[in-house]
Amino acid sequence: MWTPCCSREHCFRCQTKDFHTGRSCEENIAALGQALIVPCACCGVSLTKGDGCDTVTCVCGNKFAWVKELEITKQIHAFLKEYPSNTHSACVDVLCGTAGTITNAALTWRLRHTVEVNKAFLKYWKSTHPVFPTQCAVTTVAAAVHAPVGVQMAIDLWLATYPTEAAKKA
């Protein structure tokens, strides 16, 4: 495949410049080093960048700033290294103030794993308020201003997930 901007040959599968004849994509990525690989936020394809401008366009059409995505990727790797098991639940625990202190990395983890972390938020809210979770969410909204960011996220998510029930309790 050739790049649309400069007609340079590159590998479609691992998205590296120059086709890596004689090496598998995995071998090529390993040779480049993980620090230079960023997954596309839309399709997950591994991207590397050797030179050129900071704006990158993935083969799926997603455009992003390379430096920003590289920083996000580093934060995600740091969070995963700190919490290698039950990472989505650990993200909720960090954001709700019950574990750890790497809040920015947890926010970044949530950004890339929204669906899974939102499920963990709903589970967290249900487990901390097992009897009347919706009523607790409705009555806690004003008081949650001084709570950790994750508590407010859990409340907002609960109310958005159960809007009819929340309207009855309001």
The pLDDT tens digits of the residues spanning 20-69 come to 677 776 676 666 655 577 888 888 888 877 667 788 888 889 999 988 98
Q: Six-digit token pair at 76?
A: 């995600």
Nearest to 38 by CA among 61, 17, 59, 66: 66
Tokens 């650990």 sit at which residue?
90
- Domain borders along the chain are 1-67, 83-169
Q: Which residues contact 46 (CB under 8 A, 6 or more apart)?
A: 14, 15, 29, 37, 38, 39
Neighbours of 21 (CB within 10 A): 6
DSSP alpha helices (H): ranges in the chain?
25-32, 66-82, 87-95, 103-112, 114-128, 133-140, 149-161, 163-169
Q: Which amino acid is at 16?
A: T
pLDDT for position 49 = 76
pLDDT for position 31 = 65
Burial string for 92-111 (b: 16+ CB within 10 Å, else e) reads bbbbbeeebebeebbbbbbe
For residues 25 and 75, what is the distance between their CA atoms, to the nearest angstrom? 24
For residues 114 and 132, what is the distance between their CA atoms, to the nearest angstrom? 25
pLDDT for position 155 = 93
pLDDT for position 124 = 96
Q: What is the largest CA-CA distance in the chain?
A: 65
Contact between 38 and 66 (Cβ < 8 Å): yes
The low-confidence residues of the chain, meaning pLDDT below 50, are none
Distance between start and end Cα atoms, the chain: 57
pLDDT for position 37 = 79
Instruction: Report strand pairing: 46-48 vs 55-57.
Output: unpaired
Q: What is the pTM of this model?
A: 0.69
